[in-house]
Amino acid sequence: MNETTPENPVLEGVDVTPVGLTLRDWLAGQALAGFSRAREAEMFNENTVRWYARIAYEMADAMLEERDHAPRRQVVRPKSEVRPPRPAAWQDVRARTV
């Protein structure tokens, strides 16, 4: 995934115009979703919406730039087996009453 190529896969040898969100669009959308969760709905008007959209894309661009400059980190493997979590208490009760 990169900032200019849409995420949707395309078959080799098939001449198709790619459609879909680029990584940049997706990151900007995630930032915009965060803004809307952090603010009250009445704070959005025709002026602030454009400002939030511009800031969201600036954040997306910064994330992409940082990703390109950040060193690749190794995947950390657990030292021991990772066990699945125990069922929640309500799941145990349901299983016994059915």
pLDDT mean by block of 10 residues, the chain; 98 residues? 62 67 91 80 78 93 87 75 71 55
Helix ranges (DSSP H) in 39-88: 46-69
Q: Is the pTM of this model over 0.85?
A: no
Q: Output the pLDDT for position 43.
A: 73
Q: Output the pLDDT for position 12.
A: 66
Q: Output the pLDDT for position 72.
A: 74
Q: Tokens representing 12?
A: 């080799």
Strand (E) or helix (H) holding 90: helix 89-97
Output phi, psi for 67, to 5 deg. Answer: -60, -40
Q: Output the pLDDT for position 92.
A: 57
Read off the DSSP letter of residue 85: P
How many other CB atoms are found less than 10 A from the CB of residue 52? Answer: 17
Output phi, psi for 46, to 5 deg. Answer: -60, -25
Q: Which residue shows structure tokens 């190794």?
A: 74
How many other CB atoms are found less than 10 A from the CB of residue 27? Answer: 21
